[in-house]
């Protein structure tokens, strides 16, 4: 365990919930970002093992952020967090380099399953 995670979402509510799910499973949340631009910047600073990425965020969308992060680090492990009905955007994010996705509203088990798949 002890893998590090960067949580990106524009809602504190979502960040808190995701952080809680991950922390309870023994992961270390080392940073948060509330916009796409901030996500890219923090990724470069922190070099986390995993990123959870919201799609709709102000100041650069999650998809743009995935593109930027993967440009700098093609092996970046990014988990998209998407709302229902955004399938087209999720497909776009995967083509941009995201490695997996979960659908809101979250079931903690589904989130952890995806995280384990990426870090396993």
Partner 1 sequence: MAQSSKYVELFVAESREHLQQCNAQLLAWERDLEQDAPIAELFRNVHTLKGMAATLGYSRLANLAHAFEHVLGSVRDGGVAPSAELVEVSFRVVDRLEQGVALAAGGNDDAIQDRELADELVSFSKPATGTFPVPALRADKTPQPEAGGVVVRIAIAPGTPMAGARAALVLRRAESLGAVSAVSPPVDTWGSEAFTGDFACRIATAAQDDAIQAELSQVGDVASVTVIRGATPAATSSPATQVRVDLARLDRLVNLGGELSVMAHRLAADLARREDPALVAAGHALDVLVTDLQEQVLRVRMAPVGEVFERFPRAVRDLARHLEKRVRLEIEGADIEIDRAILEELPKILLHLLRNAVDHGIETPAARKKAGKGSEGRIRLSARRDRSTVIITVADDGRGIDEVAVRAQARELGWGADADAPDLLRILGRPGFSTRREVSDVSGRGVGFDAVLHRVRALGGSTELRAPAEGGTMIVLKLPISVAVVPALLLRVANDRFAVPLGFVAETARLAPEVDGGKVTYRGRELPLVLLGRREAGPVRPGVILEVGGRQGVLLVDTLLGQEDVVVRPVNAPRGVPRWVNGATILSDGLPALVLDPTALV
For partner 1, the binding residues (CB under 8 A) are 10-14, 16-17, 56-58, 82-85, 87-92, 94-95, 99-101, 103-108, 113-114, 117
Nearer to partner 1 by C-beta: 44 or 95? 95
Shortest distance, position 99 Cβ to partner 1, whole Å: 8
In 9-120, the DSSP E strands lie at 28-33, 50-54, 78-82, 100-103
Shortest distance, position 14 Cβ to partner 1, whole Å: 6
What the block records as the tokens of 107 is: 């079931």
Number of helices (H), then strands (E), belonging to the chain: the values are 5, 5
* Three-class SS state of 110: helix
Shortest distance, position 13 Cβ to partner 1, whole Å: 4
Nearer to partner 1 by C-beta: 44 or 107? 107
Distance CA 48, CA 11 (A): 20
């Amino acid at each position: 365990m002890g893998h590090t995670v960067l949580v990106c979402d524009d809602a504190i509510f979502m960040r808190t919930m995701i952080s809680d799910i991950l922390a309870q499973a023994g992961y270390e949340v080392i940073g948060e970002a509330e916009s796409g631009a901030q996500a890219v910047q923090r990724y470069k600073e922190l070099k986390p093992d995993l990123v959870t990425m919201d799609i709709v965020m102000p100041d650069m969308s999650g998809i743009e952020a995935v593109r930027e992060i993967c440009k700098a680090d093609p092996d970046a492990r990014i988990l998209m967090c998407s709302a229902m009905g955004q399938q087209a955007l999720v497909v776009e994010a995967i083509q941009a380099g995201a490695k997996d996705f979960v659908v809101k509203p979250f079931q903690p088990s589904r989130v952890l399953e995806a995280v384990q798949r990426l870090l396993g």
